[in-house]
Structure 1
Amino acid sequence: MIQTTEYVEVTTSAGRVRGCWRPTTGGRGNPRSAVFLGIPFAEAPVGELRFAAPVPKAPWVGVRDALEFAPTAQRGDPGVTLIPEPSVPGESTLNVNVFTPSPERAASGGGLPVLVWIHGGGYFAGSPASPWYDGRNFNRDDVVTVTISYRLGFDGFGWIDGAPTNRGVRDWLLALEWVQQNIAVFGGDPSRVTIAGQSAGGGAVLTLLGMEKAQHLFHGVYAISGALADVSAARSEAFGRRLAADAGVEPTLAGFRSVDEERLLELQKKATALDPKAMDTIVDEGLPLGPTVDGDLLPRPTRESLRAGVGAGKPLVIGATDDEFTMAMGDAAKVLRWVPTGILLGRMGVAKDRRRAYLAANADVVAKGKARLAGRVLTDRMFRTALLNVVADRGSAPTWLYRFSWASGTFGFAEHCLDVPFFFDCLDGPAMEPLAGPNPPQSLADEVHAAAVAFIRDGDPGWPQAGVSGTARVYDTTTRDVPDAYASVKPLL
Structure 2
Amino acid sequence: MSAPTADTATDRPLVTLDVGQVRGVWRGASAAFLGIPFAEAPVGPLRFEAPVPIAPWEGVRDASAYGPTPQRKQLAEITLIPEPSIPGESTLNVNVFTPAPGRPETALPVLVWIHGGGFTAGSPASPWYDGRSFNRDGVVTVSLSYRLGFDGFGAIEGAPSNRGVRDWLLGLEWVQCNIAAFGGDPGRVTIAGQSAGGGAVLTLLGMPAAQHLFRSAWSLSGAVGDVRPDRAKRFSETLAELAGVAPTRDGFASLPETRVLELQDDAANPDKLDPMAGMQSMLTDGLPWGPMIDGDLITEPTLDSIRSGIGGDKPLVLSAADDEFTMATDGAKGKLRFIPPSILLRRMIPDRAVRRAYLAANGPQRRKGTAAVLGRFATDTLFRAPLARVADARGSRPTWVSRFSWASPKFGWAVHCIDVPFWFDCLDAEKVDVLAGDDPPQALADALHGAAVAFVREGAPGWRPWSESAGATRMFGGAASAPDVLPDGYASVRPLAG
1:462-481 equivalences under 5 Å are 462-470=462-470, 471-476=472-477, 478=480, 480-481=484-485
Where do residues 253-332 of structure 1 align in structure 2 (5 Å cutoff)?
253-273=249-269, 275-332=275-332
Letter aligned with residue 484 of structure 1: D
- Structure 2 residue corresponding to 1:46, chosen from 43, 53, 72: 43
Q: Which residue of 1 aligns with 2:4?
A: none
Q: Return the offset for 1:279.
A: 2.0
Secondary structure class of the residue paired with 2:101: coil
1:15 aligns with 2:16: no
**Compared CA separation, residues 221 and 90, structure 1 to 2 (3 A):** same
1:32-71 aligned within 5 A: 32-71=29-68
Q: Is this contact kept in 1: 2:111–2:189, CA < 8 A?
A: yes
Deviations 1:260-291 (A, max 9, x none): 11111111132234643232221021122100
Of 177-186 and 349-358, the range deviating more from structure 2: 349-358
Corresponding residue pairs, total: 482
- Partner residue of 2:104 out of 77, 100, 106: 106
How far residue 5 of structure 1 moved from its aligned partner, in angstroms, is: 7.4
Alpha-carbon distance between aligned partners in 2 of 1:113 and 1:173, rounded to the nearest angstrom? 19
> Contact (CA 8 Å) 1:236, 1:288: kept in 2 or not?
yes
Q: In structure 1, what is the equivalent of residue 111 of structure 2?
A: 115
Aligned letter for 1:473?
R
Contact 2:349 2:355 in 1 (8 A): no
Q: Which residue of 1 aligns with 2:122?
A: 126
Q: Which residue identity lines up with residue 31 of structure 2 in the other structure? A: A
2:199 corresponds to which residue? Answer: 203
Is the CA contact 1:348–1:374 (under 8 Å) kept in the aligned structure 2? no
The residue type paired with residue 372 of structure 1 is A
| Secondary structure, counterpart of 1:37 in structure 2 | strand
Whole-angstrom CA distance in 2 between matches of 1:489 and 1:463? 21
Residue 155 of structure 1, aligned match among 151, 157, 167? 151
The answer to whether residue 233 in structure 2 is matched with residue 237 in structure 1 is: yes
Say if 1:272 and 1:287, in contact at 8 Å, map to a contact too.
no
* Partner of residue 375, structure 1: 375
Give the one of 67, 79, 82 matched to 1:81: 79
Residues 1:385 and 2:390 are matched in the alignment: no
In the TM superposition, what are the counterparts of 1:131-150 in structure 2 within 5 Å? 131-150=127-146
Q: Give the distance between the partners of 2:348 and 2:370, measured in 1 at CA.
A: 12
Distance 2:346 2:198 in 1: 29
Q: Residues of 2 paired with 1:16 and 1:318: CA distance?
A: 37
Deviation at 1:367, TM superposition (A): 1.2
TM-score w.r.t. structure 2 length? 0.94
Counterpart amino acid of 1:489? V
Question: Pairwise CA RMSD of aligned residues?
Answer: 1.5
What residue identity is the alignment partner of 2:457? R
Gaps spanning 5+ residues in structure 2: where?
1-6
Query: TM-score normalized by structure 1?
Result: 0.95
User: 1:3 and 1:417 mapped to 2: Cα distance?
Assistant: 41
Structure 2 Cα separation of the partners of residues 296 and 258 of structure 1: 27
Cα drift, residue 361 of structure 1: 2.0
Residue 182 (1) aligns with residue 183 (2): no
* Deviation of 1:247 (Å): 1.3
Where 2:422 maps in the other structure, the secondary structure is helix
Corresponding letter in the other structure for 1:251: P
Q: Deviations over 1:59-101 (max 9, x none)?
A: 1110100011110101156621000001000100000000000
Distance 1:4 1:159 in 2: 47
> Would you say the 8 A contact 2:303–2:390 is kept in 1?
yes
342-351 or 446-455, larger mean C-alpha shift: 342-351
Match of 2:488 among 484, 490, 493: 484
Quote how far apart the aligned CAs of 1:128 are: 0.4
357-366 or 397-406: which moved more?
A: 357-366
3-state SS of paired residue (1:346): coil
Report the Cα offset of residue 368 of structure 1: 1.1
In structure 1, what is the equivalent of residue 461 of structure 2?
Answer: 461
Aligned to 2:164: 168
SS of the counterpart of 1:231?
Answer: coil
Kindly indicate whether the alpha-carbon contact (under 8 Å) linking 1:15 and 1:61 is maintained by their aligned counterparts in 2. Answer: yes
Contact residue 229 and residue 287 of structure 1 kept, 8 A: yes
Alpha-carbon distance in structure 1 between the residues aligned to 2:101 and 2:8: 9
Deviation for aligned residue 1:312: 0.5
Q: Which amino acid aligns with 1:213?
A: A
What residue is the counterpart of 1:97 in the other structure?
A: 95
SS at match of 1:473: strand
Of all paired residues, the percent bearing the same amino acid is 61
Q: What are the residue-to-residue correspondences of 1:340-419 with 2, within 5 Å?
A: 340-349=340-349, 351-419=351-419
Tell me if structure 2 keeps the 8 A contact 1:292–1:298: yes
1:438 to partner: Cα distance? 2.1
Q: Describe the shift of the 1:3–1:219 C-alpha distance in structure 2 as closer, same or farther (beyond 3 A).
A: farther
For structure 1, the residue ranges without an aligned partner over 5 or more in a row are 24-31
CA distance in 1, matches of 2:170, 2:444: 35
3-state secondary structure, aligned to 1:205: helix
Q: Equivalents in 2 of 1:482, 1:6: separation in Å? A: 50
Check 1:350–1:474 CA distance in 2 against 1; reply closer, same or farther (3 A cut). Answer: farther
> Residue type matched to 2:15 in 1?
V
Give the drift of 1:338.
1.1
